[in-house]
Structure 1
Amino acid sequence: MERRDFLVSLTAGGIAGMCVDLVLFPLDTIKTRLQSPQGFYKAGGFHGIYAGVPSTAIGSFPNAAAFFVTYEYGKLLLNSGSSSYLSPLTHMAAASVGEVVACLIRVPSEVVKQRAQVSPLFTTYQVLANTLRQEGIQGLYRGYKSTVFREIPFSVVQFPLWEFLKDLWSWKQGHVVASWQSAVCGAFAGACAAVVTTPLDVAKTRIMLAKTGSSTASGNVLFALHSIWRTQGMAGLFAGVIPRTTAISVGGFIFLGAYDKASKVLLQLGPQRAS
């Protein structure tokens, strides 16, 4: 990957991440409170829906930038000498590695954000300070495995589907899709991935919000899923599926559309500066 391509992926990914995370933050808060063990209204209901937004504002740019740099580099590396029919596998593998890297930044931001979302009386700084005092740095990475286990299946569905839909649309119209068309493909792909992975998202939320020392706090995804199934059944496993799917569908439109548009603009600016 050339230095210019690296900077394009870094900048475009970061811009896209900030756009979607900040625009859709209220829906994310509602989803988190629906999934929280104390219940929606005890977690704050519709009050203070921007609780935890500083954590997202700080973490979204580097998180998304890390994902897209890894994703694009992974595609370039894996596509070298491979057949076109292996493209879906290439996109799955590149997206999976991208998620593992991005989660190193995403998880601490997510832990603080979700705890602030269900404790609107506390500031983001107070939540961060309490977490570090009670659990140390390790507390910021509680739920890392469950987040990765959620994000990899999500990306394995979303990104190959997004790339396939773009290629199909490009083939149908005889030229490369416009940014708005890429955004539409991203919305559909995101909605499909969101529905399929909601149980993993619920498990991740429960692990991050669990009391320190509890069985759920240990981070065992299967235990968390079984506990939710035993106490709440299918409804518990799909808690928050509507706001999650809505947010991710709209988010896919903004995120992947903004990434596509920002990439094209930045690539066009490069040669002009060079001249």
Structure 2
Amino acid sequence: MCIRIFIFLRAFVFVCAYNVFGLEVVEFRVYQQELVDSVRYLVSEKYDGVRGVWDSKHFMTKRGNPINAPKCFTQQLPPFALDGELWLGYGRFEEIQSLANMQDSTCEQWRDVKYLVFDAPSCGIKDRQCTLSERLEEVRIFLHTHNPPNVRLITQHILEPQDLHTLDSHLQAMLNEVLKYGGEGLIIRPDERGYRAGRAKNAFKLKAYTDSECRIIGYTQGNGRLRGKIGALVCEQVLQSGRDVLIPSIWHNKRITFKIGSGLNDTLRANPPKIGTIITYQYNGFSKNGIPKHTRFVRIYGE
């Protein structure tokens, strides 16, 4: 009973610290070019780690749950708030997730963990209204002065307003480079003044693909090698905002029809899922009319 009370109080203290320090963190929406503002943006790699918020005394997840990193790791960190990813390396998400969930862990277990910083929510201990670049400079100064071995500032690439008309091609080139060595995607943020917590309006994440579901309503016939088989699935879907995908209000409840031709093997083309079947597909952003781009069949929904 006493142990349970202690655990509850400990969790309560962490949640209170999370709220008192005002560290509700920014949550990125899935990239859509139509929602990008004509301002300077900073683009960085999105690492497949555990989001870690440092409130100057404790580590927490973005939901305010404690991450019990050992003192040998936290003593490297500054006396001001940071936001970033706890990371062990490409393809090792399950390992860092398990470590972050441990109640008691050792310095040896945390030896190879890197804290990859992409923001300083409070702009150090000075000005809460500084731009993203200014906040990152504060972190850079601290790292240069103290040289902590397990803390690193994530590299940022600048996209100026005049580059926005070619934004998709810029981002696709950056994404391709990240994917070459096993990266997950990109984070795209405006270099604006002040740290805006909560669901972002103009800060985005871009992965190779995002998952969704649609209902098969027809097929197109294949040509050439695919003669006698289907060329693509014709799908129908009603657009809705979800937790990760926020769409413009003008698209809400919009019924769309589109084709999915990629991801189908010869067996599926010869014997496609029946009309009315719900399938999971992947896509990369939306067209200006709200149609998913670069669609790819994944599986029948639920399989």
TM-score, normalisation: structure 2: 0.24
**Higher Rg:** 2
Greater strand proportion: 2
Greater RCO, CA 8 A, separation 6+: 1
Greater helix proportion: 1
TM-score, normalisation: structure 1: 0.26
